Copies of this chain bind each other. A is one copy, B any other.
Amino acid sequence: MSEATILIVEDEPAIMDMIALTLDHANFDTIAAESAHQAHVAVIDQKPDLILLDWMLPGGSGIELARRLKRDDLTADIPIIMLTAKTSEDNKVQGLNAGVDDYVTKPFSPRELVARIKAVIRRSGGSELDKPLEVFDLRLDPASHQVTIEDQSVEIGPTEFRLLKFFMSHQEKVFSRDNIQDQVWGANVYLDERTIDVHIRRLRQALTSTENSGTNYSKLIQTVRGVGYRFSVKPS
Contacts and interface: CB of A to CB of B under 8 A. Distances in A.
Interface string A28-48: 000000100110110011000
A122 B71 contact: no
Contacts of A115: 188, 190
Contacts of A38: 96
Contacts of A173: 143-144
A89 interface: no
A182 B119 contact: yes
Contacts of A225: 157-158
Contacts of A235: 153
A186 B41 CA distance: 28
Contact of A145 (B101, B118, B182, B224): B224
A118 B234 contact: no
A172 B153 contact: no
A226 interface: yes
A187 B116 CA distance: 9
A40 B172 CA distance: 38
A173 B157 CA distance: 17
A179 interface: yes
A35 to B, nearest CB: 8
Interface string A177-188: 011001000011
B158 A226 contact: yes
Nearest to A77: B37
Contacts of A41: 101-102, 123
A109 B192 CA distance: 13
A174 B126 contact: no
A128 B224 CA distance: 20
16 contacts: A71-B128, A111-B190, A116-B188, A119-B187, A122-B182, A143-B173, A144-B232, A145-B224, A145-B227, A145-B230, A146-B232, A146-B236, A153-B234, A157-B225, A158-B225, A158-B227
Given A34-B97, A116-B188, 18 more contacts: A34-B96, A41-B123, A71-B128, A72-B128, A109-B190, A112-B190, A115-B188, A118-B178, A119-B178, A119-B187, A119-B188, A122-B182, A143-B172, A143-B174, A144-B174, A145-B174, A145-B224, A146-B236
